[in-house]
Amino acid sequence: MMEVEGFEVRAYANANELLNEDCLPDSSCLVVDYHMPAMNGLGLVAVLRDRLISIPAILITAHPEENVCKHAATAGIPIVEKPLLGPCLLDSIRKAFDGHTKSSS
């Protein structure tokens, strides 16, 4: 779906695989699931930000608990709930890119 919209998509089996990536393009947007092996999505984004990688991120989850919502909001990470129906994920990615471009200018 994302490729049809003109986005290049990279998939990673787990957080460590992404963390071992040599370089993430500045024009990236992370779409991370909350529940992942070894580390949750918010933890992954926190590690990347500790490494001064500040690309936008979107958290997907089926049932966001209150504490997850609070942590995501504090980190400036929007949540998209599963199931991913309609254009909600695509709209969130576009919004993340727009916000990142404006804050980087």
Q: Give the pLDDT score at 22.
A: 82
Q: Give the pLDDT score at 48.
A: 93
Q: Which residues does 14 contact at the CB level (< 8 Å), separation at least 6?
A: 36, 37, 38, 39
What is the mean pLDDT of each successive set of 10 residues along the chain, which is 105 residues long?
Answer: 80 91 82 92 95 92 94 94 85 81 53
Tell me whether residue 5 is in a domain.
no
Tell me whether residue 48 is in a domain.
yes
Q: Give the pLDDT score at 8.
A: 84
Q: Give the count of domains, the chain.
A: 1
Q: Give the pLDDT score at 73.
A: 96
Domain that holds residue 89: 27-104
Tell me whether residue 4 is in a domain.
no
Q: Which long-range contacts (CB under 8 A, 24 or more apart) does 66-75 make?
A: 68/34, 68/42, 71/42, 72/42, 75/42, 75/45, 75/46, 75/49
Are the CB atoms for 34 and 81 separated by under 8 Å? no
User: What is this structure's pTM?
Assistant: 0.84
